[in-house]
Amino acid sequence: MNTRFFTLAIASVALASAVCAQTKYASTPAGSEFQPGNTNNTYPWYGLSACYQQVHDAVDMAALNGRQTMVISGVEFRPAANYSIAARSWNAQITLGITTQTAATMSTTYSANFTSPPTIVLPYTNVTGPAGQGAGSTVPNAWLWKFPFKSIFPYSAAQGSLCWQWQHNNAATVVGTFMDSMNFTFTGGATVLPNFGTGCTATGKSAPAAASLTIAGSNITAALSNGASSAAAFLAIGLSRATTSIGWCAPLYTAPLILVGGATDAGGTWNAGSAPTSVLTAAAYAEIYTQYAFADSGLSSGIGLSDLAGVGTAANGAKYATRVYTINTAGNGGENAVSGSKSSGTGQFALVTGFTIL
């Protein structure tokens, strides 16, 4: 394949609208599903009582869940780096709402950040966050604290930004709780995503066909392995991930925006091309996917498909998320605060938040 064409193809997709994979949860800020945060945040759980809000801009939320409406059924949080998290319990309430406020305009008055009537998705309930231990800062930690809602919350980025609010009282102790978060200075680079799905097993092969995207130094390389030997092939490049069955030996795992022709060698390999990672630059987070098809007369459809390989651009960090908080270390009452303190600029410390998706 022409390397220059591959570079242009990847660059054009990277600069298109960001679309993320459909998963069982949507992790914000966008890109934090695959990249750990660069800081920690102990609010709102530090205090004996507290009120806490985060606004996530629509541009950040739009990069999640394939630009589909999200039916949110809970929130999840994970430890920062290798911090030890103590078990905690509270009487807590969680509220979600649509807002015209953004990270830049978020008010220090809590009620002003719900510009549409919000939904109390978890009325005051005794909840517990279990003890846990962060594994480090090179890969994201697993979700530790999970709070299911009692009411679902449908959300589409077309409605506007999303505001979530946590209120609690009756915490037993004041304890530092260092959960994963991001601030404005996040400088992560492109990340290779886990492969998705299962490819067809080509004639004469013992393992399914596999797509790969590999980052080495300042280059990204696309390749197919375990395809049919010396066969015509093409590479599909897309922005979304799905599972569309068309009656072949494997589903289509992406909607192609660009198709590139080529051929496998005698071993069933096609090194489709390389490009500098600098082309993986976008104003907001984006994911780019590759899947291969190859001719194979030994398969029922006459065509084999690989699994899906993907790469994500740098996570959004806290560019599109801001917090407002009131923390009371002396007793109850903080949960009823009317206004709070706002983090801004390089000190936003937005909690990495997993929205559980039905």
pLDDT digits over 237-250, tens only? 998 878 899 999 99
pLDDT in tens, 121-165: 999 999 999 999 999 999 999 999 999 999 999 999 999 999 999
Q: Which residues of 257-277 are buried (b: 16+ CB within 10 A; e: fewer)?
A: bbebebebeeebebebbbbeb
Tell me what the mean pLDDT of segment 34-43 comes to.
Answer: 94
Distance CA 297, CA 310 (A): 28
- Indicate the SS3 state at residue 134: coil
Q: Taking residues 19-44, report their average pLDDT.
A: 83
Q: What is the pTM of this model?
A: 0.85
Measured CA to CA, the distance from residue 57 to residue 59 in angstroms comes to: 5
Average pLDDT over all residues of the chain: 91
At residue 6, φ and ψ (nearest 5 deg) are: -60, -40
pLDDT band of residue 17 (cuts 50, 70, 90) is very low
Q: Domain 3-11+189-312 adopts which CATH fold? A: Immunoglobulin-like (2.60.40)
What pLDDT, on the 0 to 100 scale, is given for residue 15? 46
> CA–CA separation, 245 vs 157, rounded Å?
28
Q: Are 41 and 181 in contact, with CB atoms under 8 Å apart?
A: yes
Share of the chain above pLDDT 70, in %: 93
pLDDT at position 211 is: 98
Cα–Cα distances in Å, from 352 out to 24, 78, 169, 326?
A: 16, 8, 22, 19
Residue 36 — very low, low, confident or very high, per pLDDT cuts 50/70/90?
very high
> Is the peptide bond prior to 148 cis by the omega test (within 30 degrees of 0)?
no
- For the chain, the structural domain boundaries read 3-11+189-312, 31-186+318-357
Give residue 202's pLDDT: 98
Neighbour-count burial for 217-238, b at 16+ CB within 10 Å, e otherwise: eeebbbbbbbbbbebebbbbbb
Give CA–CA dist 56/184, Å, rounded.
13
* Tens digits of residue pLDDT in 243-302: 899 999 999 999 899 999 999 999 999 999 999 988 888 788 888 999 999 999 999 999
What is the pLDDT averaged over residues 339-356? 90
Q: Which residue has the higher pLDDT, 2 or 225?
A: 225
pLDDT of 20 reads: 38
